[in-house]
Every structure is written in C-alpha cells, then in structure tokens.
Amino acid sequence: MSEVKNGVNVEALLGAREVLEGAPQAGAFTWRAKCEWKDGTHSHSSVEGYFGFGEEQSHKREFTFDADHPELFAAADNGATPIEYVLVGLASCLTAGIAAVAQHREIQLNSVEATLEGGMDVRGILGMDADIRNGFDGIKVSYKIDADADREDIEALVAQSQKRSAVYDVVSNPTNITVVVE
Amino acid sequence: MSRCLSARAIDHVLLERGAVANSWRTERWDSLRLLTPNWQSRLPDFGYEGDDPDGYRNMPETIAFLDKYAQVIEAPVQTETAVTSLRCNDNGYQVGTDQGDWHCRTVVLATGACNIPTIPKIADAVPSGIAQLTPNNYRNPDQLAEGGVLVVGAAATGTQLADEIHRSGRPVTLSVGAHIRVPRVYRGRDIEWWMDASGLHDELYSEIEDIVRVRRVPSFQLTGSDERKTLDINALSAIGVKLVGRFAGIHDGKAQFAGSLRNMCNMSDLKMNRLLKTFDEWAEESGMDGEVDPSHRLEATGVEDAPPLGLDLTSGEIKTVIWATGYRPDYSWLELELLDRKGQIKHDGGVVTEAPGMYLLGMQFLRRRKSALIDGAGDDARDLCGHLAGYLANGNIL
C-alpha cells in the first residue's frame, strides 16, 4: 500500500470501474438541481437527490446556493453571479481531479490553490452587439501546487485532470440544452 | 504465421480477398511510406538486405517486399478469395468464401485492425456541398477541389495528409484531439531504434497495467521521408496549417471545436518528454550514452492564445472534410458471438477467449507493444503458433 494520503479512495474508484465494466448501464447518472426565484435577480438553488448506479441516491443533506448580481448591476448582491458558479464548478472539478490522479500516481499533495479568471464583454448580455457572445471569451486557470513530485509530474497531473473533468468537458464542448415550460 | 506453421509442418492455407498485400495495394494514398525504417521489417527468416536500412519503404516497395516474402517462404496463398462467413462446426470451424467452403480445426484471423475508417456521427451534419473523404479513398491532393480542407484527426494519418494537402495550395485547418507527439530522429537515431533497442517495443501485454486503454492509444505522429523529418503540430503550423480543437459538433452549418486544444498539446508534450527521459535513462544505464548524440528536448507545441472555436461550413471556405479519425476491424463475416461491446474480439494475447483453436494477429498491442508493426508479426506468430500446435496435439475437439 502506498504511503501517500490525499484523502481520495482510489481503490473504491477502481472498484467502481470494475463493476461498470460488467454492468455498463449502471454508469448512467442523472444530476439534478432546483432553482427558485426570490426577488430581482436573486434566486435560491438547491441540490440533494440524484440518480446513479441504477437507483435514486441522495447527498448526506441538501446543499443550497444563492445567486444574484452585484450592486454594480443595480442588484442586491445576495450571492455569487451565476457565471461565477461556473468558475467555481470548473475549479472544484479540476481540483478534485488533481487529487484523485495524484493519489493514483502516488504523489503526495501538500497544497493546491487555483485562481480562475473568465473574461467577458458585458455588451453581449446587454444585447448591444450581436457579434459579442454572452459567455466568457476565455477562461484562465492558474494552479499553485506544492507536491512531492517534480514540475513535469505536477504538470501531468493538471493535464490529466483536464482530460477527465466533467465540467471542463461541458465548458469546452457544445452541449445540447432543452428548456421547456411545463 | 504461415512460415511458423510450415516450420512445424502444420498443413494450412492463407485466404486472401485480393492479391498478396491487398490493403497496401488498394487502400493507401499514393505518397504513403512506411512509418518504420527498412531495417525494422524483420519477418521470420526474412529481412531487409538493401543499402538504405534507415529509409522508409514506399507503397510499391512495401508490396514487393511482402510479395517476395510470400514467394520465399512458399506461402500457400489462395488469392482472390473473400471470406464471407466463419462459424463453428463439429470438428472446429467452417470458413465460407466466394470460392467455396473450408473446414479447419484451427483458424487465425489476420485481417487486421484497420478495415473500416471510423467516422464520427457528426459527419451526417456536414453540409451537402462539401466532399467527405477517408484515408481509404483519399489518393492525392489532385483529387480534391481547389479551396480549403478540414482534416479531422492529428495522429500519423491526419498530420501527413494535412502536410501534403496544405502544400498543394489548399489551405488546411487541422482539428486536433488526443495525439502522441514524437521526434522522427532523437539523439541521431530513429525513434523506432529507441523503441526497439530500449526494449519498449518488446514489452508484453501482461506487463501493462491498463491494457484496454493502451490498446486504444493513437498512433505515433510520424512520417517516413528522405529527410527523416519530424512532422508534428509545430511543423504544420510553420507552413501555415490552422489549428483547431477536437471536432465537437455542427450547429446551423457551423463546425464547433472543443476549447481543449492547449491541453491536448500540453499533454502530448509532457508524454513525449517522459518517453525521451525514459530513453535517456536507458542510454545511460546501458552504456549507450557515448554512442548517440547529446540529450535534447523539442520546443513546446505552440498554440495561439484563442484558437477558433467555430468554422462556418456554409461559407464556401471549406470544400473538403477528411476524416482521419481512426479505423475499426470488419467482422461482418464472423457468425460467432466473440465481440466485446466496443466491437473488438475478446482475446488473451491473441488467443481468442471464447473460441478454442481460434487466434488473432496484427492487432494493437496484441501480445507486445510492437504487435501492430510488421516487425511485431514474427514474435507474435511464433508464440501463437506454439499455442496452436499444442492445441492440435492435445486433440481438443470442440
């Protein structure tokens, strides 16, 4: 057994891979979120249940998120802006991936810090110029990592984490979205 | 395999749908040369005897090489015989062909991994005015309309076609996903020399941690040329090929590319440097350090700050799309349930797991890293022929 302790149970993940090899249909997960409008641009979202391994599953408890816009936009600033949640999602996904890959490669992490920046021209969302997109014109992620490994191995961790990240995939690839009114 | 069977006096026949070296004759583009140097095509009791061991065979030379081998070993080839079915019978197998049936106790499937070009589903959404080709029906740039070409895939095939087509005056956009970058020549020796001499090519499938993944790794980004040039992303950028990310979708006639190009290139650089480090370490340990040039590294792959994420396929800029997105085997004639969910025959180092007396040859990392190379056929055939002879001797009947 390795001495490396990043707190990721790699054996369990590899075990899940083995199970799914024999029962690929169990790999079909559905993630869910609920969102309720409060007032102005303020909304309150929550996640709790999801579907996976062939049955309904649940987090240990409900997690909630307030989203709003800053006072600069004449809003009440009751929470992070939705686009900041995207950065949070990307950062936490990549960081979790780094820990998992490090554990698998038996690299001890001492500290991992990410700083994210997403550039955006708000004239897009204000509908002022059809040539300006609503979303980010790019995202920059900078990692500061202290680990018991050389620089190349650390860079390889970060690269592999991007390759296996769900949020990185969603953000970097087009995804079909269906929005209906019930 | 035929040579090994003959050496053991095992009666056999080789069924070939066309002439010897059929796929080299009919499914390759004109300028293609082997990615491995001449010295490396070592077959049982046969090898290169010319004066250019470091050169790379073109197609006529490759065909002549295989033709000559078939003659030298007196291989019992029945040409112009297409296999149409393979099923079990009471004593082994029944092989249906367009020239009648064969009955055999053992059968070796040496039809290879590259029968049908894999084309992603998004091809269906390519606007109808754009020609679509695969490496199987591409021959040369003259076949293409004047104008832009989108080459999808940056392994050995995609990079070679991008290079040739862009040089013909048709501006190429190259869609780059996962790829394996290597220098053609490292420290004065061919990359294949390093793979061979360091023992990497002889690594066994049983020594590999995740063999399923390794069997799917794309080919080395290599080309065979007189100048022994390295054909990587940087070389293509230098002649003006435009780089975009993995081809992710088509929406309203607009091609969409993933924003992962930088990571794909970074990853490739990191893997290459790890491989070169392995070679350096081997050179030092084996006392080869003085025999080769000093260690060095290639410049990191250059990617522009914001590569394009879209390309309008209706603007007339792109006239042709070439899918260099890999191959899959054709088992349409196989009437036995032997495939896994990815369409590959389940096997243990070439011994087909669920069909005693059946063997597989010439697949990616079948038994060893070099298995898919001409140079890998000999060792694999010797191993599997031994197994096959044992099977016959033990009198196992299905």
Q: pLDDT, tens digit, for every residue of B338-370?
A: 999 889 999 999 999 899 999 999 999 999 999
The answer to whether B248 contacts chain A (CB < 8 Å) is yes
Which residues of chain B are within 8 Å of residue A140 when distances are taken between CB atoms? Answer: none
pLDDT, average across residues B165-194:
98
Query: Are B320 and B129 spatial neighbours (Cβ–Cβ below 8 Å)?
Result: no
Q: How confident is the model at residue A10 (pLDDT cuts 50, 70, 90)?
A: confident
Whether the pLDDT of residue A11 is over 90: the answer is no
Residue B252 burial class via C-beta count within 10 angstroms: exposed 0-12, middle 13-18, buried 19 and up: exposed
Give B189's strand partners.
B186
CA angle B384, B388, B393 (to 5 degrees): 150
Structural tokens at position A57: 């599953």
Look at residue A3 in the predicted model and tell me its pLDDT. 82
Cα first-last separation, chain A:
53
Residues B273, A160: C-beta atoms closer than 8 Å: no
The answer to whether A171 contacts chain B (CB < 8 Å) is yes
Are B375 and B287 in the same domain?
no
Look at residue A2 in the predicted model and tell me its pLDDT. 54
Are B180 and B277 in the same domain?
yes
Are B347 and B290 in the same domain?
no
Q: pLDDT, tens digit, for every residue of B102-150?
A: 999 999 999 999 999 999 999 999 999 999 999 999 999 999 999 999 9
**Rounded-to-integer distance, Cα A151 and Cα A54, Å:** 41
Q: Which of A24, A138, A152 sits opposite B270 (nearest CB)?
A: A152
Per 3-state DSSP, chain A is made up of helix, strand and coil in percentages (nearest 5) of 35, 30, 35
Q: Where are the alpha helices (DSSP H) in chain B?
A: 2-7, 22-26, 59-72, 156-167, 191-197, 211-214, 233-238, 261-285, 374-393
C-alpha dist (Å) from residue A49 to A62, A63, A114, B3, B150? 8, 10, 29, 62, 44
Those of residues 290-349 in B touching chain A at CB distance below 8 A are 305-306, 341
ipTM comes to: 0.84
Are B185 and B301 in the same domain?
yes
In a domain, B398, yes or no: no
Are B159 and B298 in the same domain?
yes
Q: Which of B248, B251, B273 sits opposite A152 (nearest CB)?
A: B273
Whether the pLDDT of residue A33 is over 60: the answer is yes
Quick one: which H or E segment has residue A98?
A: helix A82-104
**Rounded-to-integer distance, Cα A118 and Cα A136, Å:** 6
The residue among B327, B347, B377 that closes a domain is B327
Under DSSP, is residue B200 helix (H, G, I), strand (E, B) or coil?
helix
The answer to whether B121 contacts chain A (CB < 8 Å) is no
Cα first-last separation, chain B:
23
Mutation choice for A interface testing from B212, B270, B297 by most A CBs within 10 A = B270
Look at residue A22 in the predicted model and tell me its pLDDT. 86
Look at residue A73 in the predicted model and tell me its pLDDT. 93
Q: What is the domain extent for residue B59?
A: 2-115+329-393
CATH of A81-174, one of 3.30.300.20, 3.20.20.70, 3.40.50.150, 1.20.140.10: 3.30.300.20
Residues B270, A174: C-beta atoms closer than 8 Å: no
**Rounded-to-integer distance, Cα B266 and Cα B258, Å:** 15
**Rounded-to-integer distance, Cα B243 and Cα B72, Å:** 47
Q: pLDDT, tens digit, for every residue of A41-73?
A: 999 999 999 999 999 999 999 999 999 999 999
Are B103 and B152 in the same domain?
no
Which residues of chain A are within 8 Å of residue B179 when distances are taken between CB atoms? Answer: none
The residue among B310, B327, B344 that closes a domain is B327
B118 backbone dihedrals φ, ψ, rounded to 5°: -85, 125
Residues A152, B274: C-beta atoms closer than 8 Å: yes
Number of domains in chain B: 2
Say how many residues make up chain B: 398
B211 CB neighbour count, 10 Å cutoff: 14
Please give the sequence-ordered ranges of beta strands (E in DSSP) within B161-246, or none if there are none.
172-175, 180-181, 185-186, 189-190, 220-221, 242-244
Those of residues 66-85 in A touching chain B at CB distance below 8 A are none
Q: Which of A160-164, A174-178, B288-292 has the lowest mean pLDDT?
A: A174-178
Query: Are A121 and A137 spatial neighbours (Cβ–Cβ below 8 Å)?
Result: yes
